A and B are shown apart, each in its own frame.
Chain A
């Protein structure tokens, strides 16, 4: 989807060198740290990628619902840049994957059209030395927490990559005639419904396409976010995000969960 420049900004060099010498950093909680050790992985470093991106301008027609391709492209591009930089850091550390990825957008005073896209996560390696790189030869990424990662592995599935789809959509305003015509009535507003449906479908389809590229058999933990960012009320970004998974081991007998009543408040 994007032509990503493959060079990390220069400043990263020294920090990663230190990590290669054996120190690890991670934003995992102690629980997550122990669970990841439990399934045979070791954290190698806190990795991140970021990009500050200026979003272009696209004119919208007042009465027309349509995808704003330029804005969609900007959102895609910026996230790809951040994700790719994070993956590069992980690859540099010789990691097999990145868990607990968080993908966020920040706005600053510098200009309302500019936003920072950040991806952070903890790079991990398999302690048995078997490579867990995904089909594309890159470290797997996943937004699952350490707990979810442990649970997922118990079921015999393995994460392949964080997949996403996005669509920025302009939803048409209703004409005055229409508005007057429906005053005082219970009626569905088909143009709004239709527009929202279409935007959501586009985003979901794009996410699924990414998963197919990774040869995944499913996507878990999908989140659908609707945000207007700073575009006004009739322009919406639909973002769907999830972890693509693939069944890697044969039959698994899942332990029966123990029912407990905790004594915590």
Chain B
């Protein structure tokens, strides 16, 4: 572990980053056990379909947004949506590269963390690289990335589906202010605020469409476990943001394989009424 000596008291950040990069670059594809954040159950699940965890990999990207972007304007805040998209793409590109470097075929259980600040957008991805036991390395473009847990990944593979990658989309839109006259007039009425509704819709549709475009580009059949985050930002009361992401999947066997669930009654104390472990 030549790259990890104790750091001196005055920390030189740039040197640290260079050292970390060099360390990653030198590293040959691992052959033995690596680190992973999988539970024992998940590891066993993976092995049951002939896959193994390789290494914990991560990708991070920060994109800046111009000052004053969030407060005044009309329609979509194009630059914010773009920054989000590019941050997501480059973070996942880094994840692909790291995974390929350690000889993995895919990354599962990716935690997606996103932060939107008034000055920058930050996307961080962290997951466990996996591969079929003893498989040869593939190049970065052949690696899949998925936010499904290892258990979900196993289930999908058993049913004949394969994850292809993450699809994401985001859009930020100004919510137009009502003028004083309209606001006063509507004070005591039950009315739909159509201008806000339309702003919300446009953010949502644009974001969803961007995600779908990603999915189509990956030649997927569909997107599962779509997560959505929406609402105004703390620092910009008159803008709404909408972000979605999910795992693109494709049916790889000739037909969907039935998983035939069993009805079980768990004797655990928890109030989980339906235990999915029985499906595996």
Bound-complex Cα distance A12 to B212 (A): 13
Number of interface residues of B (CB under 8 A): 64
Contact A50 B197 (CB under 8 A): yes
How many interface residues does chain A have, given as a range?
A: 35 or more
Contact A110 B175 (CB under 8 A): yes
Minimum distance in angstroms from A66 CB to a CB of chain B: 18
Contacts of B130 in A (CB 8 A): none
Select from chain B the residue with minimum beta-carbon distance to A145: B274
Out of B189, B205, B237, B268, which one reaches A56, CB within 8 Å?
Answer: B189
Contact A260 B275 (CB under 8 A): yes
Contacts of A43 in B (CB 8 A): 222
Known: A9-B198, A255-B263. A22 touches B221 (CB 8 A): yes
Contact B215 A25 (CB under 8 A): yes
Q: Mark contacts of A11-45 with chain B using CB atoms, 8 A cut-off: 1 yes-contact digit, 0 otherwise.
A: 11011001100111111111101110110000100
Bound-complex Cα distance A259 to B275 (A): 11
Bound-complex Cα distance A81 to B194 (A): 12
Contacts of A264 in B (CB 8 A): 41, 268, 277
Out of A15, A25, A114, A151, which one reaches B226, CB within 8 Å?
Answer: A25
Minimum distance in angstroms from B193 CB to a CB of chain A: 5
Contacts of A35 in B (CB 8 A): 261
Contact A26 B226 (CB under 8 A): yes
Q: Mark contacts of B158-190 with chain A using CB atoms, 8 A cut-off: 1 yes-contact digit, 0 otherwise.
A: 010000000000000001000000010011111
Main secondary structure, interface of B, reads: mixed
Contact A51 B221 (CB under 8 A): no
Contact A25 B191 (CB under 8 A): no
Select from chain B the residue with minimum beta-carbon distance to A114: B193
Contact A258 B264 (CB under 8 A): yes
Contact A48 B264 (CB under 8 A): no
Minimum distance in angstroms from B105 CB to a CB of chain A: 19
Contact B224 A28 (CB under 8 A): yes
Contact A50 B201 (CB under 8 A): yes
Instruction: Provide 19 A-B residue pairs closer than 8 Å at the C-beta atoms, listed in order of the A residue.
Output: A25-B208, A26-B226, A33-B224, A34-B155, A37-B159, A38-B260, A46-B223, A52-B196, A57-B188, A77-B192, A109-B238, A110-B193, A116-B196, A116-B200, A151-B263, A255-B263, A257-B265, A258-B263, A262-B266
Give the interface of B toward A (CB within 8 A). Answer: 41, 148, 152, 155-156, 159, 175, 183, 186-193, 196-198, 200-202, 204-206, 208-209, 211-212, 215-216, 220-228, 231-232, 237-238, 240, 246, 256, 258-268, 274-279
